[in-house]
Structure 1
Amino acid sequence: MMMSFFDQFMSPVLLGLPLIVLAMMFPTNLINNPTKQWLNNRCSTLQTWFTINFMKQLFSPINMHGQKWALILTSLMMFLMTVNLLGLLPYTFTPTTQLSMNMALAIPMWLSTVIIGMRNQPTISLAHFLPEGTPTPLIPPLIIIETISLFIRPMALGVRLTANLTAGHLLIQLIATAVFVLLPMMPTVAVLTFAILLLLTLLEVAVALIQAYVFVLLLSLYLQENT
């Protein structure tokens, strides 16, 4: 019986219990906790160096009120990176290929930035809907367009992450299937296809890291507008 290529995006179930919760909790065990020693191991040192440089780059244009989000966005970045990378391993499941999960991450974070802007600086936040100097006939359609663009932001966050990871996983599975089919018939072509598969796997690793960074970067830009 031929299995569908989209079966890899279905949440695995064991004894009637969905394993997506376990898949989301497992990456937190891979992050090293800081110790009280003078010197940490190489993994902890690399993790600390990455976190510090990431926070400097991400929060340098944000004022002091937005600096409170440093722990939340950094934790979200590490979570998305580990989940995306673990999904590339054999016999694993990638929770971030589920649009429902990505929207569950995007909507509350985006809504929090909007609420902060409306609470702390309502005049500036409302001014984004109508730029200064707009002609009077263009005011109603411009307000409608800006409102739609505001509410489409969380959808863009979730769909971008889901689409990029889903497309990469599908392409890897298609090329891997082609390698197994061509190996007994045309070994040379199969070897060349396998080389392409290795390069695509490296590209997918980069996409997994970049998409996690882009997700958090866009959230920081939304936060910068509202603080």
Structure 2
Amino acid sequence: MNLTLFDQFSPPSILGVSLLLLATLFPALLLPSPNNRWVSNRLSTLQSWFLLLITKQMMIPLNKNSHKWAAILTSLMVFLLLINLLGLLPYTFTPTTQLSMNMALAFPLWFATLLTGLRNQPSISLGHLLPEGTPTLLIPALIVIETISLLIRPLALGVRLTANLTAGHLLIQLISTATATLLPIMPAVSALTAIILFLLTILEVAVAMIQAYVFVLLLSLYLQENT
């Protein structure tokens, strides 16, 4: 039973060739490509409005020096949003349930924000390791604690995204299995679990969108500290 539950998190493959890269790049094919027409169709207009809304939301708390990150943060937001939502469809694979992939996204971007701070304002960036007015005896301990909390940020980003999506997929599979098993035995209980499954699916759609937003929002906050 445990193997069948966690098989959904194994990367798909054909003849020993992993399809993880294909599953990661496929959502980008669903986006409408821009055109040179003065008046675009409704889908392109909706996409442009959505991208503008995301970009404005991400850039409001940041200063002008950080606005050059707008394309990266917006692209990451759309990328995570599409992958998380498409992973809720039947017979699909969600690449963001893999901790290795989430860490590959979190660590380089976090490290880039750290290097940006050390290059542009090294004294302020290093000053975050030691709060002002700290007693002399607590300085070594606080420096160690703040350094650990700084280095653990990318791990927290990756684990948060992985854990939330993995837990949601497991709950959906468990309740859907219970619904199918109870249908011939107790139809009334099966109908109740089907209702719970429907409500849980709506919740997971919200979680997929919220986790993509939280991932990018935390990166923007890290960037705000270093610019």
- Same fold, TM exceeding 0.5? yes
List 4+ stretches of structure 1 deviating above 4 A.
none
Q: What is the distance in 1 between the residues matched to 2:2 and 2:57?
A: 48
| CA deviations over 1:120-139 (Å, ceiling 9, x no partner) | 00000000001111110110
Which amino acid in 2 is paired with 1:139? I
Superposed, 1:72-151 pairs within 5 Å as 72-151=72-151
TM-score by length of 1: 0.98
SS in 2 for 1:65: helix
Could you say which residue in structure 1 is the equivalent of 2:36?
Answer: 36
For residues 148-194 of structure 1, the C-alpha deviation after alignment (integer angstroms, 9 at most, x for no partner) is 00001000000000000000000000000000110000001101110
Aligned positions of 1:45-56 closer than 5 A? 45-56=45-56
Moved more, 154-163 or 44-53: 44-53
Q: For structure 1, which runs of at least 5 residues remain unmatched after alignment?
A: none
Secondary structure of the residue aligned to 2:201 is: helix
**What's the offset of the Cα at 1:52?**
0.8
Q: Distance in 1 between matches of 2:2 and 2:218?
A: 40
SS at match of 1:202: helix
Give the alignment's TM-score, normalised by structure 2. Answer: 0.98
Tell me the amino acid that sits aligned with residue 136 of structure 1. Answer: T
Distance 1:42 1:3 in 2: 45
Task: Give, in angstroms, the shift of residue 33 of structure 1.
Answer: 2.1
Deviations 1:30-54 (A, max 9, x none): 1122211122222211111111111
Partner of 2:172: 172
1:27 is aligned to: 27
Cα RMSD over matched residues? Answer: 1.1
Question: Where do 5+ consecutive residues of structure 2 fail to align?
Answer: none
Q: CA deviation at 1:4?
A: 2.2
Amino acid at match of 1:170: L
What amino acid is the match of 1:213? Y
1:88-111 alpha-carbon deviations (Å, 9 max, x no partner): 111110000000000000000000
Rounded to whole Å, the distance in 1 between the matches of 2:3 and 2:56 is: 46
Match of 1:12 in 2: 12
CA distance in 1, matches of 2:48, 2:2: 46
Partner SS state of residue 64, structure 2: coil
Identity %: 68
Equivalents in 1 of 2:202, 2:168: separation in Å?
Answer: 11
Offset from partner CA, 1:35-75 (integer Å, 9 cap, x none): 11122222211111111111111101211221010001100
Paired residues, number: 227
Which amino acid is 1:184 matched to?
P
Deviation per residue, 1:181-214 (Å, 9 max, x gap): 1000000110111011011001101100110000
**CA distance in structure 1 between the partners assigned to 2:67 and 2:25 by the alignment:** 26
